Amino acid sequence: MSGPTSTTAASSVPRARPAAPGLLGDLRQVRASVLILFVLLAFNALFTPHFLTLQALNVNLTQVATIIIVAMGMTLVIATGGVDLSVGSLMAISGVLAPLIFLSGAFVQAPTLGLILSFLVPVIVTLGFGVLNGLFVTRLRLQPIVATLVLYIAGRGIAQVITNGQLQSFSNPGFSYLGLGRPLGVPFQVYVMLVVVALTYWVVKRTVFGRNVLATGGNAAAARLSGVPVGRVTVQVYAISGLLAGIAGLIVVAINRSSDANQVGQGMELDAIAAVAVGGTLLSGGRAQVLGTFLGALIIQLIRFTLLTRGVPDAGAMVVKAAVIVAAVALQQRRRRE
């Protein structure tokens, strides 16, 4: 009798539906974002003059590229249950350091070395500040919002002290190529953005580190008991966030051919968090929807573009963006309750 009974019991257990593999499965998870993006694209294609031109495409991609780059780091941070408010200030620090290096008289005889260092040093510095954020969270046990608020305030002050509050203007074709180069007619920073998105997606989906990030955000205590180095993972995600903020700061300065510590990265932390929220990553941690963040940033950019082309001032566009964020977070909470 034991044989039939076991068979019956086994058959009564519902089988879990296999997850759709790879990229297709991830796109299904963010199908709502895909639909919204498609509607926005279709609307603009029909009713916005010259939307389907290379110039309009480049304008939108240029404006959204730095947001997406920073948002990739923010996605990893939020996946651990944290948040990084310092990214805008770190962009400012990176942006003011680069011109100081390649304009320095020390590199008059070695301009190529000065150019290389102007790319490397600012990013290394912001990576170090990201590590500091992580140590505040792990060693001092500060809440992430408090830990990163320190550099949110002090970081921009550091950038202003470095430049004595002065605007730095420059003309350096090698450095400006980062923001103004057009290989194959596409802005160079778009290639940087796509590489960052691809690497982040690979890290989350294919590496032990990515699994550790999700485990840390899902349940840090259980992850620690399972052998996950929670403290080290936390420091690493803040370091990555700082590094990507540094890259974004270089791009902004290269586009403007000037560096203003008061303006570089202004409001970037909110734009990055908005992209993550709209993209479907839970703000409580345990999930990293990389494609969702990418689509979320594009949606926010297209909403802003659509409103501005219809005469709505930027302040009005910000109100609509805030409403979109509220709706996205409310939808997340509803899904969690279900």
115-143 pLDDT, tens digit each: 999 999 999 999 999 999 999 999 999 99
Provide the pLDDT confidence category of residue 336 given band limits of 50, 70 and 90.
low
Compare 94 and 309 and report the one with higher pLDDT: 94
Q: What is the mean pLDDT of residues 279-299?
A: 90
The alpha carbon torsion through 96, 135, 296, 18 (nearest 10 deg) reads: 150
Asked whether the predicted pLDDT for residue 328 surpasses 90, the reply is no
Residue with token string 């990055």:
272
Min mean pLDDT across 20-24, 153-157, 237-241 is at 20-24
Domains, the chain, in order of start with CATH, read: 30-39+50-337 (1.10.3470)
Distance in angstroms (rounded) separating the CA atoms of residues 307 and 313: 8
Contact 273, 87 (CB under 8 A): no
Main-chain phi, psi angles of 318, to 5 degrees: -65, -35
Question: Residue 280 is encoded by which pair of tokens?
Answer: 């479907």
Main-chain phi, psi angles of 167, to 5 degrees: -75, 130
CB-neighbour burial class of residue 185 (10 A; exposed 0-12, middle 13-18, buried 19+): exposed
Sign of CA dihedral 312, 316, 322, 326: negative
Provide the pLDDT confidence category of residue 202 given band limits of 50, 70 and 90.
very high
The proportion of the chain whose per-residue pLDDT surpasses 70, expressed as a percent, equals 91
Say what the pLDDT of residue 337 is: 59
DSSP 166-178: --EE---HHHHHH
Distance in angstroms (rounded) separating the CA atoms of residues 158 and 154: 6
Provide the pLDDT confidence category of residue 290 given band limits of 50, 70 and 90.
very high
Q: What is the mean pLDDT of residues 91-101?
A: 94
Say what the pLDDT of residue 321 is: 76
Provide the pLDDT confidence category of residue 338 given band limits of 50, 70 and 90.
low
Asked whether the predicted pLDDT for residue 44 surpasses 90, the reply is yes
Which of 277, 304, 257 shows the shortest CA–CA distance to 103?
Answer: 257
The proportion of the chain whose per-residue pLDDT surpasses 90, expressed as a percent, equals 64
Contact 87, 265 (CB under 8 A): yes
Range with the largest mean pLDDT of 1-10, 122-131, 313-322: 122-131
The single-letter DSSP state of residue 19 is P
**Helix %, strand %, coil % of the chain (to 5):** 75, 0, 20
Distance in angstroms (rounded) separating the CA atoms of residues 331 and 19: 22
Contact 216, 233 (CB under 8 A): yes
Q: What is the mean pLDDT of residues 58-75?
A: 95
End-to-end CA, the chain:
40
The single-letter DSSP state of residue 107 is G
Provide the pLDDT confidence category of residue 235 given band limits of 50, 70 and 90.
very high
Min mean pLDDT across 58-62, 148-152, 210-214 is at 58-62
The size of the chain, in residues, is 338
Angle between helix 208-218 and 188-206 (nearest 10): 70
Contact 220, 233 (CB under 8 A): no
Q: What is the mean pLDDT of residues 229-236?
A: 97
pTM: 0.90
Asked whether the predicted pLDDT for residue 15 surpasses 70, the reply is no
Compare 26 and 76 and report the one with higher pLDDT: 76
